[in-house]
Amino acid sequence: MKNHISEYVLNAENIDAISESISSFILGGKYYEGIALKTRLSAETILLHWLDNAPEGATVSLEYIKRFGRLHVRLRLKGEAIGNPLESSEDDFQSTLLTNMETTYSYTFTKGENVVDFKLPMLPVSNMAQVFIAAALALVLGYAMGIMLPADVNLMVSTNYVTPLFKTILGILSTFACFMVFFSILSSVASMGNVATLKSMGKEYLKQIISSTAVCGVISMAIGTLVFDVVSLDKGSGVSVFDKIFAMLVDTIPVNVFGAFYKGNMLQIAVLSLFVGVIMLMLGDEVAAVRKQIGEYNKLFQYAIRIICKCTPLLIFLSLLKLILSNTISVALASWKILAMNNICYILVLVSVTVATCIHCRIPLTEHIKKSIPLYLLGFSAGSSVPCLPAIRKQLESYRVDPGIIDFALPIGVVISKRARVVYYIILVLGISSVFGKTIASSQLIVLLFSSLLLANATPSIPGGPLAIVSLLLEQYGLPLEAVGVAISLSLLDAMPAGAVKVVTVFDDVLYLQGTVDREKIG
């Protein structure tokens, strides 16, 4: 593809035209809608900033480039340096949103031109197809070795080759995941201070989502403990449950920074990042430069995790091969119950959020369900909420929701709404513990809820983000390596229902924020 350059006079009408052109170009390159939307939102933000600061009649160049098989979208504005609007102190939160949605861009001022270059990712390859291929190869090779080779040889291969390789890849993943958790939580918390300054409804919106997420976590934990018989009451230990809970909560506070990272204690790392983030909120603009640097580190480790997680099919292959060679493959097959209970909890979340929204906003339940079903199906097929943003916006507009509320709440909700993730982490720990015959002390349930809430918010919306968190979470409960491999497989299967839940709950969150909806305005 040759470079294509178009010139536009910088005004509101042409900003819409440029945005439409960028979206059409990206969709024409066979990217999914989420990539087009993310790039369009970023471009609009930058162009509006230029419009406010550039002289009247300024001209913008729009250029499309193909380099080494990767597409670029480039914007140029001649004149004085205007700066990068997505990295200014007042837009730190928006920059965080775009980062979490995988938008990649760079800003430079060269030879009297402001230049913004959007670098599109390589076209994604189906993770599910890779997983099925890896699983099929593991089954074929494992059973072939079982038939052709003696048991002691299979044990030697598993012990000397499969297990060390699996541990190495998992160790690398866990190491980078520790830093990803730290900078992800820290970056999110540090930018929260700007949410309240965006609009007065910021605090209410955050409170609404966080409180309902905690309720969903409690409900899923209650169901999980009833279904999976893994909770031990620790009778006769001579120590009260409250003493144990207190000791565990105290243990979440790291004695020193290096110890938390060295031991890979994800809860201590999460608490440490939360503490530092709160301090940064208190300091405000005094640490604007530090906040910007933390955002860069957050990008770095998220990108590293994305690269490492390309080894996910290999992890699944090694995990299943190890289970087959050790004649414990039945353990993996028993994990179907985890997916079943997880989806039951998802249904309860959807029902509770939908009913609460209808009551609060005085919306007819049947009418609201009719509008939610297409969003659910779209989220399920996409496995992500980002590609569904245009559809969510359209449904919100049919309810006559204030455009200002949509513009404010929709992108924030996509990033901070983590109900499905909290439910999944809790059910996964309880279910995997049951499958592998491990027990969890009753006093650990509160810590599990607390850690799931923190780690859900630390999970970035990038390929492999949940996988990294899962590997850390299960290690804290002393589960074997095979458990991590099974959990990673389940995490990939969970992507579609989790995406559907998130799309519907984000839709309901914005409606809930809108408040009472006039019945006569329901379209």
Whether 10 and 51 have beta carbons less than 8 Å apart is answered as: yes
The secondary element (H helix, E strand) that includes residue 78 is strand 70-78
3-state secondary structure of 231: strand
Q: Report residue 264: phi and psi, to 5°.
A: 70, 30
Question: Mean pLDDT score of the chain, rounded to an integer?
Answer: 76
Q: 256: which DSSP letter? A: S
Per-residue pLDDT, 233: 64
Q: Report residue 256: phi and psi, to 5°.
A: -145, 160
**Which residue is listed with tokens 């019945």?**
519
Q: 252: which DSSP letter? A: T
Per-residue pLDDT, 89: 42
Percentage, residues of the chain above pLDDT 70: 77
Per-residue pLDDT, 91: 47
Q: Which two tokens stand for residue 271?
A: 């608490």
pLDDT tens digits for range 343-373: 899 999 899 888 988 888 888 888 888 888 8
3-state secondary structure of 500: helix
Task: Look up the pTM and report it.
Answer: 0.66
**Average pLDDT for residues 123-135, to the nearest whole number?**
66
**Which residue is listed with tokens 């230029």?**
50
**Average pLDDT for residues 260-276, to the nearest whole number?**
76
Whether 79 and 112 have beta carbons less than 8 Å apart is answered as: yes
Q: Could you count the other beta carbons within 10 Å of the beta carbon of residue 521?
A: 10
Residue environment code for 9-43, b if the CB has 16+ CB neighbours within 10 A, otherwise e: ebeeebbeebbebbbebbeeeebebbbbbbbbbbb
160 pLDDT higher than 80: yes
**Average pLDDT for residues 392-418, to the nearest whole number?**
78
Residue 192: which pLDDT band, with cuts at 50, 70 and 90? low
pLDDT tens digits for range 67-82: 666 778 888 888 888 8
Q: How many angstroms separate the first and last alpha carbons of the chain?
A: 44
pLDDT tens digits for range 200-253: 555 677 777 888 888 888 888 888 888 887 777 655 455 555 665 566 666 667
Per-residue pLDDT, 103: 54
